Amino acid sequence: MRLAVLALLAAAVVAQDAQQRPTFRGGARYVRVDVYPTDADGKPIEGLTAADFELYEDGKPQAIDTFDFVRIEAEPEITRVDPNSQPEGEALAKDPRARVFAIVLDTRHVELAAGRELRQPLVQMIDRLIGPRDLFGVITPELPPGSFTLGRKSTTVADMMGRYWTWGSYDSILPQDSIEQLFDSCFGSVTSQEVTKQRNPALTRELVARYRERQTLQFLDGLVEKLQAIREERKVAILVTQGWRLFGENRDGIEQVAALYGRHQPIPVVGQRGGRILTGTPPQAPQDQDRSDCVAQSSALFLMDSRRAFRDLTAKAARANVAFYPIDPRGLAPFDQPISHGVIAPTEENARLSARAEGLREAALNTDGMALLMNNDLDKQFRILTDSLSAYYLLGYYSTNVKFDGGYRRLEVKVRKPGVRLRARRGYFAPTEAEIAAIATGREAAAAPPSAGAAALSEALGRLSLLTHQRDLHLQAARAGGDLIVGAELGVTARTARAWADGGEVRITVTTAGGERVETRALEPMRSGVSVRVPIADPGAVKVDVRARAKGSGPSSAADATVTVPAPSASLIGDPLSYRGIARALTPAADGRYRRTERATIEAPLAEGATPAGARVLDKLGQPLTVPIATRERADAAGVRWMTAEVTLAPLTDGDYVIELEVMKDEQRERKLFAIRVVR
């Protein structure tokens, strides 16, 4: 019986995949267009026929070949079945009669109270919205877009909203990550109103706002790409947000920073999260912050043009058939700036509120979505949304354009009846000749990258043989420029022993042909490891001896370990280092074992001119897995460039895995493998 059920499921997935792939007749590509006609009140219009529609591709009329009306009736939550995995959810989403929703909780642009009030209306909206075939996912900009997963049950969302109702942090008085900590220490707290020769809190408030805006827009850009990859048909992104100010350049801000700290040469900081990961044990004390970072980070943000990024985002979403439905959970908002951040002039308050609302309306208008703003009745707002999406028409046609050049085809749908408002797919990308050939022969258009070499894979997995509970101290080290980065982490038995509860001391001895260098670091209570940067002038091999001592006493109050770092090679990418935690609180993961609830961060130094070319998660046989991994490039205070890969481990089961980092320089490519172990 179980085999029969699995066979039926496999057949259904194959059928859906066949529906999603482009089909051809006489050299013409078959295209589906979803159309949402509504009246002036946003109610769906039923009873239309194919003769009521006109369909154009690049201005040329097209003959409608298939026509279908789809009405969605909400299905009780108890009868819905979640997909078993992320790939299965994405396979089900390829059904053209299924609807796909992405609910985005814009954490840093929603007030605490507004997020709290959203709990019940959001869950009720999902229960009214989701039909038998529909799928949805909830995500925040704190997560990589690739981790977006689809499901059907609202129970998990209800539990999450009940537990973590404090997710809205727009009006928080505390820095949310290491970059905001940096601005706080450089220019003063967001709550301070005192301006001195060394502090200007107004700079902090604007820089934090710009930084959060950049983070959100970059996240939405990545989410659009993720949704586009899932399917061609319409995807609805429900944006729970108070909106964005959409900053332009601020040259005066750069001058104000220069007046405070002088004109340092900016350090290039590039990446998805827009900031560097500290190689020491973060967070650093304010007096230890490198002031050049203040200038570098603030200069980049003051030169930022969010308006251009926003226009590019909405254009990209329209082409990807992603419709934005922004909802402001505050309703009618009298003020924009939180009172804890100080009081600003009423004209400035009104200008900010207006800019946010106009931006959200523009996002909806340019993507054929709907903006739900300025209404204190959240439940009513969500009902308007569900009603407008409860029915639609699915039109299909064979394109008269038989050029397979990969170009963008603009679509336009008209209805012959008056008083009808239309939301419809705006276009699609034509296939290429290579894709046509691949489909004709039953192959995928692009072959998967080759699996990792057996020798390199075996070498990477070899380090995991050292991961035993008997080891009390684990080490990792890598050369970075003229320095050696040493990470030391207590083993599981040691770090859970009472003797280490109050912390301890770590003594690191680095031996080269030219002599010894000793560094000592405190191991803070509740911390499992330290990271130390040691200048190394000798180009040869380096021996590292580490001796850790706990403040307490007992049989597990001491640990020793040794590692040898070979002489640097002429490679594009250096030896990787691993960390656990999040950007503002990373700790060395020299142990190499992670729990599924953790996030693994792998970093490797880059050679001059080398750039990141991607990363993958491989199984222990070297086969790539469909697990999202975010990569970026960052530069540290010494000017060393690093490739960073972050992976959320929740999709993985217990076992050994390999992170594959790939870099390139001109036509040359190079890969580096690093093994980790996932445990319960």
Determine the number of helices (DSSP H) and then strands (DSSP E) in the chain.
Answer: 15, 29
- Strand ranges (E), 525-592: 529-535, 542-550, 558-565, 577-580, 587-588
Of the pLDDT bands very low, low, confident and very high (cuts 50, 70, 90), residue 284 is very low
pTM above 0.85, yes or no: no
The verdict on whether omega for the bond into residue 96 sits within 30 degrees of 0, i.e. cis, is: no
How much of the chain exceeds pLDDT 90, in percent?
36
Distances in whole angstroms, Cα of residue 479 to Cα of each of 141, 583, 634, 643: 33, 21, 16, 14
Per-residue confidence (pLDDT) for residue 316, from 0 to 100: 93
What is the pLDDT averaged over residues 607-617?
A: 89
Strand order in the sheet with 504-512: 515-523, 504-512, 542-550, 558-565
- 340: exposed, middle or buried (C-beta count within 10 Å: 0-12, 13-18, 19+)? exposed
Whether pLDDT at 22 is above 60: no
pLDDT digits (tens, 9 = 90+) for 628-646: 888 888 888 888 999 999 8
Structure tokens given for 78: 């108890």
Per-residue confidence (pLDDT) for residue 239, from 0 to 100: 96
**Dmax over Cα atoms in the chain, in whole Å?**
87
- The one-character DSSP state at 284 is P
Per-residue confidence (pLDDT) for residue 24, from 0 to 100: 54
DSSP per-residue codes, 198-260: S--HHHHHHHHHHHHHHHHHHHHHHHHHHHHHH-SS-EEEEEE----------HHHHHHHHHH
- The one-character DSSP state at 600 is E
pLDDT digits (tens, 9 = 90+) for 112-146: 999 888 888 988 898 888 888 899 999 999 888 98
What is the pLDDT averaged over residues 521-530?
A: 83
More confident residue, 59 or 286: 59
Per-residue confidence (pLDDT) for residue 556, from 0 to 100: 63
pLDDT digits (tens, 9 = 90+) for 203-256: 999 999 999 999 999 999 999 999 999 998 899 999 999 999 999 999 999 999
The 8 Å CB, 24+ separation contacts for 278-287 are 278/178, 278/586, 279/485, 279/531, 279/533, 279/636, 280/531, 280/532, 280/533, 281/521, 281/524, 281/527, 281/530, 281/531, 281/587, 282/178, 282/584, 282/585, 282/586, 283/178, 283/181, 283/584, 283/585, 286/185
Distance CA 234, CA 125 (A): 19
Give the range with max mean pLDDT: 168-172, 292-296, 373-377, 558-562.
Answer: 168-172
Nearest to 559 by CA among 511, 486, 463, 489: 489
Of the pLDDT bands very low, low, confident and very high (cuts 50, 70, 90), residue 441 is low
What is the pLDDT averaged over residues 277-289?
A: 38
Helices (DSSP H) in 82-177: which residue ranges?
86-92, 112-117, 119-129, 155-163
Distance CA 242, CA 326 (A): 9
- Whether 584 and 177 have beta carbons less than 8 Å apart is answered as yes
Of the pLDDT bands very low, low, confident and very high (cuts 50, 70, 90), residue 655 is confident
Distance CA 199, CA 204 (A): 9
Determine how β-strand 668-679 pairs with β-strand 593-595. parallel
Distance CA 123, CA 154 (A): 6
57 phi/psi in degrees, rounded to 5: -120, 120
Per-residue confidence (pLDDT) for residue 294, from 0 to 100: 83
DSSP per-residue codes, 535-547: E----S-EEEEEE
Per-residue confidence (pLDDT) for residue 18, from 0 to 100: 41
Distance CA 158, CA 176 (A): 25
pLDDT digits (tens, 9 = 90+) for 419-438: 899 989 888 888 887 766 66
CA angle 447, 451, 457 (to 5 degrees): 170
Distance CA 430, CA 425 (A): 14
Nearest to 401 by CA among 67, 64, 62, 50: 62
Mean pLDDT, all residues of the chain? 83
Of the pLDDT bands very low, low, confident and very high (cuts 50, 70, 90), residue 348 is very high
288 phi/psi in degrees, rounded to 5: -95, -5
Per-residue confidence (pLDDT) for residue 40, from 0 to 100: 84
Of the pLDDT bands very low, low, confident and very high (cuts 50, 70, 90), residue 285 is very low
Whether pLDDT at 377 is above 70: yes
Whether pLDDT at 3 is above 50: no
Per-residue confidence (pLDDT) for residue 288, from 0 to 100: 40
Neighbouring residues of 627: CB distance < 8 A, sequence distance ≥ 6: 617, 647, 651, 652
Nearest to 622 by CA among 455, 467, 466, 462: 455
Whether pLDDT at 7 is above 90: no
- The one-character DSSP state at 145 is G
Structure tokens given for 541: 């091999």
Per-residue confidence (pLDDT) for residue 27, from 0 to 100: 57
Determine how β-strand 322-327 pairs with β-strand 235-240. parallel
What is the C-alpha R_g of the chain?
28
Neighbouring residues of 52: CB distance < 8 A, sequence distance ≥ 6: 415, 416, 417
